[in-house]
A and B are shown apart, each in its own frame.
Chain A
């Protein structure tokens, strides 16, 4: 296993974890752009653009792109989040050159008006699909409540209105600025020929024009808030709460991840034994979500509407119980073992390693082997977790609940 790193003249960074014994390789362009980099008028453009990257290049039509992806036998896809947009494919090693050629070509799309108009319909379908699914927009609403005018409040998919109003021209301008080589990282894992990768990437991105990109890092100032939404067809009540936790750059994040696992993993946690195991809730979990300038400690409860209030009290009691029910050594050990095993098992596929390597490089410019990554958790002490736990008692809470019409 070998880590390789190179920066091209145009500013494009290339990182790879080379494992010559692997059966496959994964390649991905990790772009440091997402919904937080959008203005209100173009909310949803990052995600819409992600779709448009499959819709044709100067040398390939949309159908050509899709056929070429399948020709390589690749498992390929893309996703957009608040902070990044990622395009990836997993192929057999002998297809490296062709895969790189295709993926690189896709990064400079033509954005034809016809394709843009058709794809807009697909995006609107995607928005409608999520609106019909639990928790019926509560997640987006909680982000808006929590972040207020902070850029992280922008919805990844945008809204029906912003997406309908988007123009191909605005998308081109956004692409020019955000997909500049200095804002993109080419990541590879598995059986990679790194020398060829660098040589061919340099050749194929020669025409990529540098541009200045930036991202505003702002500390959010959330205030406690509670919102109840009604979704008449719903049969269950879904409640989501966000409170502050460390950012992706803060070493304390490992402490909070362990804490979330002890309190609210979907199996074996305090919330599991108190709610899910007893058949009081379909789901009751805690999680962290980290960004460059801040993080969120999240709670999620799905249960029958008439049990919501009592269940939430149970969760509250767990979260404010640091003094009376301190974290035990056994809980810490179990959480560490669970995280460690999960990471090692997942790392057997190069396609999973791609995301660990790409995310770490894009957010922190850091490479860690799987062992090093697991050690970050092994180092966490009981006192650190206990201190974070005690801090939860006075947390700022932004809570959004959605369910059917309350019974009169």
Chain B
């Protein structure tokens, strides 16, 4: 079926996007609002997450318990999270219950109770979640890597800090919500089985009293380089590594993403082959593309027992650098067939499609079709990838290791 993006802008500025997938029984929507961690005051790290949590503890006609019970009654699967630039809320359910599900979402956005009585409980939950990261070295490694690479403001964890969470008061949450939970600058993307006209009518009515916009834009992200080791009593050393790459909105993004695919997508990828298959150094090794607006990075991870950590780091970096020696036609054709397969399979999930549409809109200001992405991928050649790699060689390295001993890493200073 021909893919078609439905689009409507409400009078209050909220952008509604939709892609019908009538072969599914489900419908999913993703709401992205500009209340990310980079909007938190310096001494309130964790405010965005706490505000999101508290906004769901009672809204409109529903108490905190009612919100959960009503969503369970309707059979709605939901998730919400905070990232550097956005607060995101997603829900998926059977098509027949879309309207009451949207009503609950609208209550959370427009009429959260922010009950004083629940602040302490929400704060304690957030503190526990923050503390639990200490026991998960791999996750902690990435948390520290982002902090080191993107700095205090843009590298802030969505979990916040103990001090920030402790200092947050109810009016901080109310203020954050009223400042950043605005229709202007936000997007609601639907995918699945729905009637577009009915959805637009429903949203026009639900959001008729919602107004305003988040007008200020966060400044540019400038990545830092450097290396940090955090001592930890563990068998494995966890290695998180980052280097510069083009971001999602760059005209050559697909070339950069293609190179990361050659490195890490699939079991025949370079990293899996060199680090795990040939040498047995790790169980887990990977690289992925990461974008913070204008700032692109490749993030890598490897976990290995400490006496082999130095070798693992060296093999990983050598494997990345070896891309400069060329890319095989076979590797590229495997990459192309993987992308094609995953684009076809995206049609099987309303949830993944709705979040992709919302993400594309926020990052690109438009939503590329499957055909467009496929055409971009098909146009990749070994030469164009190599040229891109030569023009954008890995540099601006950031390294965080967690384990018994620090590793030597010369790339942190010389690029």
Contacts and interface: CB of A to CB of B under 8 A. Distances in A.
Interface of A: 21-24, 54, 62-63, 65-67, 69-76, 90-92, 118-126, 128-129, 131-134, 232-236, 267-268, 273, 276-282, 302-304, 330, 333-334, 337-338, 340-342, 344-345, 348-351
Given A66-B273, A337-B73, A341-B75, A54 B267 contact: yes
A125 B131 contact: no
Q: Among A69, A132, A280, find the residue whose CB has the most chain B CB atoms closer than 10 A.
A: A132
Nearest to A345: B26
Contacts of B304: 125
Nearest to B92: A345
B128 A304 contact: yes
Given A236-B132, A341-B76, A23 B345 contact: yes
A62 B277 contact: yes
Contact of B277 (A63, A91, A345): A63
B135 A118 contact: no
Given A128-B305, A235-B131, A122 B282 contact: yes
A22 B347 CA distance: 10
B268 interface: yes
Most buried by B among A119, A125, A133, A330: A125
A279 B136 contact: no
B236 A129 contact: yes
Contacts of B326: none
Category for how many chain B residues contact A: 35 or more
B185 to A, nearest CB: 30
Contacts of B282: 122, 125
B348 A349 contact: yes
26 contacts: A22-B348, A63-B273, A66-B272, A67-B268, A70-B265, A72-B337, A73-B337, A73-B338, A73-B340, A73-B341, A118-B279, A125-B283, A134-B132, A233-B135, A235-B131, A236-B135, A277-B125, A279-B128, A281-B128, A282-B125, A334-B73, A337-B75, A338-B75, A344-B26, A345-B77, A349-B349
A268 B64 CA distance: 10
B412 to A, nearest CB: 25
A344 B23 contact: no
Contact of A118 (B69, B74, B93, B280): B280
Interface string B309-345: 0000000000000000000001001100111111011
Contact of A280 (B77, B124, B280): B124
B225 interface: no
Given A63-B277, A118-B278, A23 B344 contact: yes
User: Which 3 A/B pairs are nearest by Cβ-Cβ distance?
Assistant: A341-B75, A279-B124, A121-B280
B128 A282 contact: yes
B234 interface: yes
B344 A132 contact: no
B190 to A, nearest CB: 15
A71 B341 contact: no
Q: Which of B132, B279, B330 has most A Cβ within 10 Å?
A: B132
B169 interface: no
A280 to B, nearest CB: 7
Contacts of A91: 341
- Interface SS of B by simple majority: helix
B184 to A, nearest CB: 32
B284 interface: yes
Contacts of B276: 122
Contacts of B349: 348-349
A267 B76 CA distance: 12
Contacts of A351: 345
Given A234-B135, A267-B68, A345-B77, 19 more contacts: A24-B341, A24-B344, A63-B277, A66-B273, A67-B334, A69-B266, A71-B334, A73-B334, A74-B341, A123-B283, A125-B283, A133-B136, A233-B234, A235-B132, A333-B73, A334-B69, A337-B73, A342-B75, A351-B345
B280 A120 contact: yes
Nearest to B137: A132
Nearest to A403: B135
B24 interface: yes
Nearest to B348: A349
Contacts of B266: 66, 69-70
B233 interface: yes
Contacts of B376: none
B43 interface: no
B127 to A, nearest CB: 7
Nearest to B129: A282
Interface string B344-365: 1101111000000000000000
